[in-house]
């Protein structure tokens, strides 16, 4: 057994945990990242299913961290427009990057590609990276936290960051209460090929069962889809023959970019909202999906997580140390300040997503007509459109 000391131990080597690690290391902090999966630094050769819409605020921060330049150019898919409408209705909202004086509204990236770039940059700036290893239950002390790894080694850290996802092991260890909302839906994901080019426009159509998002990939004829559906329907579509699925998907999309054919496997995952009621437990703090998950209909989950990492890094990097140690009271005050600010941001996003979910659920013809009128009014009102554009481009 080996004992290792560090300032910050981050459990979870996903996008949020790695971005936080890089920011801390660039400010001279000693950081260790432990990731259960092996070889996160390997850039996938083939397109992968899970993608994120990275807004301009998050992109700017990732550029400052030195991670953006490590992304393969052929996997970067900026989009210049958004189109949102309701199926079989006249209501529609359209945005363009030019309206916000931007080159693009954001960038569609495969999660695994971004993780690989972040992992490589974390290694480059001196973060100690440990992959293929899990953790046992931590021991919490007044001035530090000790964590035993599956390989028997022990890491003693001044701060433990739980970046270990929606099913956070660290959150569960301390019994943090979580507000949970099961939407009783699945998110069906796949890569599809369109007979017409997507023209760099992100599209979303609201259907009776849930929204269908068509996210433009670097290939002008390929999109990543995220289709929110009742669980039984999602399972049926995942197992449906390719031709039948193609027909249903094309009809659901209003044939907006022609015939859609799957060019990958189809997978689905449960859609839930989670919100941890306590983000700080002594010298443990939650970030990203460990603290909150939201409905994917607006594509803001990754950006909200990056916002957590950005604000926590700023709080920690502003702290002074004595002989490499943080003062208990100063650290606690910084963590509580982070918790207050980011809880407020998470609640705003959750409330907005819940409002959208409630508004676009159901087929009542009166409600459907009201939605269509509302969408049309929003599309014609510049101040309202400007608000949505700002929300789509701020860092969390």
Residue 40 belongs to some domain of the structure = yes
For 181, the token pair is 């909302």
Residue 78 lies in a domain: no
DSSP of 310-342: HHHHHHHHT---BTTB--HHHHHHHHHHHHHHH
Confidence of residue 365 (pLDDT cuts 50, 70, 90): low
Q: Read off the tokens for 265.
A: 């496997």
Please report whether residue 279 resides in a domain.
Answer: yes
Q: What is the mean pLDDT of residues 362-383?
A: 53
How much of the chain exceeds pLDDT 90, in percent? 70
Which of 88, 84, 367, 50 has the alpha carbon at shortest distance from 252? Answer: 88
**DSSP string over 77-112:** EEE-EEEEEETTSS-EEEEEGGGGT-S-SEEEEEHH
Beta strands in 68-194 (DSSP E): 77-79, 81-86, 92-96, 106-110, 128-131, 139-140, 145-148, 154-162, 178-194
Taking the C-alpha atoms of residue 57 and residue 64, their distance in angstroms, rounded to an integer, is: 11
Give the pLDDT mean for 361-383.
Answer: 53
> Do residues 113 and 41 touch, judged by C-beta distance below 8 A?
no
DSSP state of 149: B
Is the residue at 219 inside a domain? no
The pLDDT assigned to 366 comes to 47
335-348: pLDDT as tens digits: 999 999 999 999 98
Strands 81-86 and 77-79 come out as unpaired
For every residue of 331-394, DSSP letters joined together read HHHHHHHHHHHHHHHHHHHHHHHHHHHHHT----HHHHHHHHHHHHHHHH-HHHHHHHHHHHHS
Dihedral, 352, 357, 359, 363 alpha carbons, nearest 10: 170
Write down the pLDDT at residue 101: 78
| CA distances, 154 to each of 12, 21, 128 (Å) | 16, 19, 14
Higher confidence at residue 370 or residue 325?
325
The structure's pTM equals: 0.92
pLDDT mean over 4-11? 97
Q: Would you say residue 300 lies in a domain?
A: yes
* Domain contains 385: no
Domain extent, residue 165, equals 3-50+110-180+274-359
Q: Is the pLDDT score of 157 beyond 50?
A: yes
Q: Give the whole-angstrom CA distance, residue 279 versus residue 12.
A: 16
- Take residue 127 and report the two structure tokens written for it: 């973060």
pLDDT of the residue at 209: 85
For the ranges 76-90, 97-111, 161-175, 205-219, the maximum mean pLDDT occurs at 161-175
Q: What is the pLDDT of residue 234?
A: 95
Q: What's the domain count of the chain?
A: 1
Helix and strand totals (H; E) in the chain: 10, 20
Residue 83 domain-assigned (yes or no): no
Residue 190 lies in a domain: no
Mean pLDDT, the chain, whole residue set = 89
Q: What is the mean pLDDT of residues 226-246?
A: 95
Q: In what order do the strands lie in the sheet with 106-110?
A: 51-55, 106-110, 77-79
pLDDT of 119 over the 90 cut: yes
Q: Provide the CATH number for the domain around residue 18.
A: 3.50.50.60
**Residue 287 or residue 272, greater confidence:** 287
101, 388 in Cβ contact below 8 A? no
């Amino acid at each position: 057994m080996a004992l290792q000391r560090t300032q910050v131990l981050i459990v979870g080597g996903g996008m949020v945990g790695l971005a936080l690690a890089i920011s801390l290391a660039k400010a001279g902090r000693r950081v260790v990242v432990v990731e259960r999966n092996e070889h996160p630094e390997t850039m996938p050769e083939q397109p992968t299913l899970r993608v994120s819409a990275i807004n301009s605020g998050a992109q700017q921060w990732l550029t400052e961290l030195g991670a953006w330049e490590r992304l393969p150019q052929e996997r970067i898919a900026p989009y210049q427009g958004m189109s949102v409408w309701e199926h079989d209705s006249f209501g529609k909202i359209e945005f363009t990057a030019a309206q916000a004086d931007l080159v693009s509204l954001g960038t569609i990236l495969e999660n695994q590609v971004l993780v690989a770039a972040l992992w490589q940059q974390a290694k480059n700036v001196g973060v100690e990276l440990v992959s293929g290893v899990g953790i046992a239950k931590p021991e919490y002390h007044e001035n530090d936290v000790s964590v035993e790894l599956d390989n028997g080694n022990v890491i003693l850290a001044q701060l433990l960051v739980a970046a270990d996802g929606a099913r956070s092991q660290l959150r569960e260890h301390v019994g943090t209460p979580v507000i949970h909302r099961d939407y009783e839906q699945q998110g069906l994901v796949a890569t599809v090929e369109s007979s017409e080019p997507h023209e760099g426009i992100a599209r979303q159509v609201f259907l009776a069962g849930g929204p269908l998002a068509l996210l433009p990939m670097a290939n002008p004829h390929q999109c990543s889809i995220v289709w929110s559906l009742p669980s039984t329907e999602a399972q049926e579509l995942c197992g449906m023959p390719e031709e039948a699925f193609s027909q249903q998907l094309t009809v659901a999309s209003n044939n907006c970019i022609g015939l859609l054919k799957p060019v990958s496997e189809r997978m689905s995952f449960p859609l839930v909202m989670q919100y941890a009621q306590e983000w700080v437990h002594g010298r443990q703090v939650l970030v990203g999906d460990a603290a909150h998950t939201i409905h994917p209909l607006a594509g803001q989950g990754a950006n909200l997580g990056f916002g957590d990492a950005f604000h926590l890094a700023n709080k920690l990097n502003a702290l002074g140390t004595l002989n490499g140690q943080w003062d208990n009271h100063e650290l606690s005050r910084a963590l509580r300040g982070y918790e207050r600010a980011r809880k407020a941001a998470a609640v705003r996003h959750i409330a907005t997503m819940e409002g959208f979910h409630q508004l676009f659920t159901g087929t009542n013809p009166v409600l459907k007509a009201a939605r269509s009128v509302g969408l049309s009014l929003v599309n014609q009102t510049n101040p309202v459109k400007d608000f949505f554009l700002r929300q789509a481009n701020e860092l969390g």
